[in-house]
């Protein structure tokens, strides 16, 4: 069910495309559609998620929007019960939606405020006119309206989930002026921030975020997702690839140290993630020092755990391949450089060996950081630190010369700003840049695209494990089979690795796949 764009006028609700289908999902409170659309209730001027537990409004009073910003632009206020700011996002699957999504990621990182519309468009390689057009098509609003909505929703979240002073809330949400924050908040939501905090306290219901009771030491938030989510398998994948001193999987909890940004003043700290009890959400606890980078930290967690995945959409394409594990996600990356270095270290060695080498690198070059967890001791080294280390220093850790050259070439490109390994990067251009570096081949570039760039259709061609899982001997044959799983070949990759690891039988290709002669080994 596709999202509806902003109906800039309050036309009759029944005239909206797909109104009946959206309303049916609303009546069912179907969590699979959480974040795929929002409903504005014309009688109250409030907009909600489709999973909201309040009384279902009449169909004639409902308008549907593809994004929270579109609902707010149309004059609707966010619901205090279901809290639209906690809804999962939507993963891009085509070039135009990915471009708009990349712009949104950069806006949330503050680039629109720092560089303006022309500067933001230039960083994306397009004109500002084209940026406005693709953004409006994807989100139903302008980039400026989107940025304002994101700041206000983050402020609303902080007012509800923490006891931070309102001045700190305004700064953490991205407002440079408390007066400007108060004015916009009053204009958009019809009440002052302090009033909203009191109202939120009186309307909290089961399923709300756990409020932080000790803001001096840590902050607590929840991140929603569309069910199902296979938390155990997700942690199992990450546990084998954790970097000692930087990451830890302890039971059903994931922990890590964090640096946000590359400058000397970049915020640092730690975080811990568990599955919320009785809710389709992950519970995040983080050190208070990360407050000024909160949007980036929460976005990084969403990427790492693939929380914007739509399991229903993936399952429809993957069919039998995903039927026995519909909640499997593609583990992403909190830090694209860190994940990419780990991928390079994993070339032609076992997962365990790569784990050992990455831990040695972090201990030797990473900065110490205080945490409440004995297993977390260091930040992963910055690109600049890796680039400036001597080859002998890195080689003394047991890393072969070819890998040392690849890691340092990668670090130099990132440190000098020539290579972006974040989710807003252009996928094809970035893979080409990676393959041009010494010691980085096609498989590694695609694996980085899958996890660091968050490209759901990435397929690591030539992967021997995939060949075994499919029962074929040649990359061309595996690639031909995988075409049937586009645009979700990244998820197919994880499912095939899972099947092989769990000793499941070879999977027969889709019946309509034109397999080359002699494809089966």
Annotated active-site residue in 212, 310, 420, 463: 463
Selection from 281, 217, 290 nearest residue 259 by Cα: 290
Active site residue 324: no
Active site residue 242: no
What element of type H or E holds 271? strand 268-275
Q: Contact 421/452 with Cβ under 8 angstroms?
A: yes
DSSP codes joined into one string, 215-234: TTTEEEEEEE-PSP--HHHH
Annotated active-site residue in 30, 34, 48, 230: 48
Contacts 24+ apart (CB under 8 A), 466-472: 466/493, 466/496, 466/497, 467/521, 468/500, 468/506, 469/496, 469/497, 469/499, 469/500, 469/506, 469/507, 470/496, 470/506, 470/507, 470/509, 471/506, 471/507, 471/520, 471/521, 472/519, 472/520, 472/521
Terminal C-alpha separation, the chain = 40
Selection from 404, 415, 440, 378 nearest residue 242 by Cα: 378
How far is residue 457 from each of residues 318, 321, 362, 446, 451, measured CA to CA in Å? 12, 15, 31, 10, 11
Q: Contact 144/136 with Cβ under 8 angstroms?
A: no
Preceding peptide of 487 cis, ω within 30°: yes
Which residues have a catalytic role annotated? 48, 463
């Amino acid at each position: 069910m596709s999202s509806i764009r902003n109906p800039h006028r309050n036309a009759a609700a029944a005239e909206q495309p797909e109104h009946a289908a959206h309303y049916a999902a609303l009546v069912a409170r179907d969590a699979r559609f959480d974040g795929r659309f929002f409903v504005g209730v014309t009688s109250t001027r409030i907009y909600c998620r489709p999973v909201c537990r309040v009384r279902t409004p009449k169909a004639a009073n409902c308008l549907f929007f593809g994004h929270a910003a579109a609902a707010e632009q149309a004059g609707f206020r966010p619901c205090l019960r279901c809290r639209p700011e906690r809804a999962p996002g939507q993963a891009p699957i085509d070039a135009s939606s990915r471009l708009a999504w990349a712009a949104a990621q950069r806006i949330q990182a503050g680039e629109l405020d720092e560089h303006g519309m022309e500067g933001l468009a230039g960083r994306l390689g397009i004109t500002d006119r084209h940026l406005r057009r693709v953004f409006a098509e994807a989100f139903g609003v302008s980039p400026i309206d989107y940025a304002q909505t994101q700041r206000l929703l983050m402020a609303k979240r902080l007012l509800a989930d923490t006891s931070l002073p309102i001045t700190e809330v305004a700064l953490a949400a991205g407002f440079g002026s408390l007066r400007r924050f108060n004015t916009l908040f009053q204009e958009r939501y019809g009440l002052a921030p302090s009033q909203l905090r009191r109202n939120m306290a009186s309307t909290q219901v089961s399923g709300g975020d756990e409020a932080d009771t000790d803001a001096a030491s840590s902050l607590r938030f929840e991140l929603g997702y569309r069910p199902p989510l296979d938390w155990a398998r997700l942690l199992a994948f990450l546990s084998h690839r954790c970097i000692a001193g930087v990451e830890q999987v302890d039971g059903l909890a994931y922990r890590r140290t964090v640096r946000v940004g590359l400058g000397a003043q970049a915020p640092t700290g730690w975080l811990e993630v568990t599955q919320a009890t009785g809710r389709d959400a992950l519970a995040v606890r983080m050190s208070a020092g990360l407050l000024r980078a909160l949007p980036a930290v929460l976005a990084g967690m969403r990427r790492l755990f693939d929380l914007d995945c739509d399991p229903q959409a993936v399952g429809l394409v993957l069919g039998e391949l995903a039927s026995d594990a519909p909640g499997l996600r593609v583990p992403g990356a909190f830090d694209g450089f860190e994940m990419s270095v780990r991928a390079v270290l994993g070339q032609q060695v076992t997962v365990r060996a790569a784990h050992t080498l990455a831990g040695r690198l972090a201990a030797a070059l990473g900065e110490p950081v205080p945490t409440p967890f004995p297993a977390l001791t260091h930040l992963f080294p910055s690109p600049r630190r890796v680039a400036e280390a001597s080859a002998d220093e890195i080689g003394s850790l047991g890393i072969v010369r070819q890998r040392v050259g690849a890691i340092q070439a990668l670090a130099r490109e990132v440190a000098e700003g020539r290579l972006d390994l974040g989710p807003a990067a252009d996928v094809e251009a970035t893979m080409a840049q990676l393959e041009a570096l010494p010691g980085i081949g096609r498989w590694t570039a695609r694996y980085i695209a899958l996890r660091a760039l968050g490209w759901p259709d990435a397929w690591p061609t030539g992967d021997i494990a995939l060949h075994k899982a499919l029962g074929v001997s040649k990359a061309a044959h595996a690639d031909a089979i995988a075409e049937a799983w586009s645009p979700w070949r990244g998820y197919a990759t994880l499912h095939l690795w899972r099947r092989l690891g769990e000793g499941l039988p070879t999977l027969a290709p889709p019946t309509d796949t034109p397999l080359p002669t002699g494809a089966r080994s």
